[in-house]
């Protein structure tokens, strides 16, 4: 069986680049998710889908909000009308979701091999992201747990604010290299490190 391999393994970039003050303002960590899947409600079935998903992930997701729903088994991110992206801690959650959601309520699609998570941590994380994403990153405008479906240089990403100075980007795996190359250019002035 093939072993999971980081999409960054073949990317030739400088992994540590302190700025002119010998400072690293942001650290990027690449993580292969254990299980990622999308759930989509049919028209008029959003509430039924939320009810079916609640016992599986351990919290009832709010499809109308722009915030993360976090439960003991998984986290759910709203990505469109009646649509959630779910990052689970194990494949059993995907199987349980498929059992809980009947075909008349919605559909479940496994995206595990199509996504990678890039975590940006540090005092300058928002500064770097603001170079490509036109969003107000002030903590009052974008509190912890806020989710935004946006783009970086034409590549669709799902951004989540995990902390005051911490963000996660859900990126299509095939475009991870392009996002990393953008990151190295955007973060050079503040200093960066790349792990993963």
Residue 1 has pLDDT above 60, yes or no: no
Distance in angstroms (rounded) separating the CA atoms of residues 78 and 149 = 8
Q: Is 10 exposed, middle or buried (0-12, 13-18, 19+ CB in 10 A)?
A: exposed
Pick the CATH number of 35-112 from 3.30.70.20, 3.40.190.10, 3.40.50.300, 3.30.70.1520: 3.30.70.1520
The fourth-level CATH superfamily of domain 16-32+114-195 is Probable tRNA modification gtpase trme; domain 1 (3.30.1360.120)
Q: Could you report the per-residue pLDDT of 94-125, keeping only the tens digit for each?
A: 999 999 999 999 999 999 988 999 999 999 99
pLDDT, average across residues 11-39: 81
Break the chain into its structural domains and give their ranges.
16-32+114-195, 35-112
Which strands make up the sheet holding 83-88, listed edge to edge?
A: 69-70, 74-80, 83-88, 35-41, 106-110
Same fold, 16-32+114-195 and 35-112: no
Q: Could you report the per-residue pLDDT of 134-191, keeping only the tens digit for each?
A: 999 999 999 999 999 899 989 999 999 999 999 999 999 889 889 999 999 999 999 9
pLDDT at 175: 92
């Amino acid at each position: 069986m093939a072993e999971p391999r980081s999409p960054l393994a073949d990317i030739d970039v400088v992994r540590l680049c302190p700025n002119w003050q010998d400072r690293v303002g942001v650290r990027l960590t690449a993580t292969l998710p254990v299980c990622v899947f999308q759930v989509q409600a049919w028209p008029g079935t959003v509430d039924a889908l939320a009810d079916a998903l609640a016992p599986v992930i351990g919290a009832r997701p709010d499809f109308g909000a722009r915030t993360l729903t976090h439960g003991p088994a998984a986290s759910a991110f709203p990505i469109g009308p009646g649509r959630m992206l779910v990052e689970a801690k194990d494949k059993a959650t995907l199987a349980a979701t498929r059992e809980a959601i009947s075909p008349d309520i919605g559909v479940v699609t496994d995206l595990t091999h199509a996504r990678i998570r890039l975590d940006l941590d540090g005092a300058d994380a928002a500064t770097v992201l603001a170079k490509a994403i036109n969003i107000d990153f002030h903590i009052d405008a974008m509190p912890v747990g806020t989710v935004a479906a946006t783009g970086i240089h034409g590549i669709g990403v799902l951004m989540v604010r995990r902390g005051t100075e911490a963000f996660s980007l859900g990126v299509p795996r095939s475009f991870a290299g392009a996002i990393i190359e953008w990151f190295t250019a955007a973060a050079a002035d503040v200093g960066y490190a790349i792990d993963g």
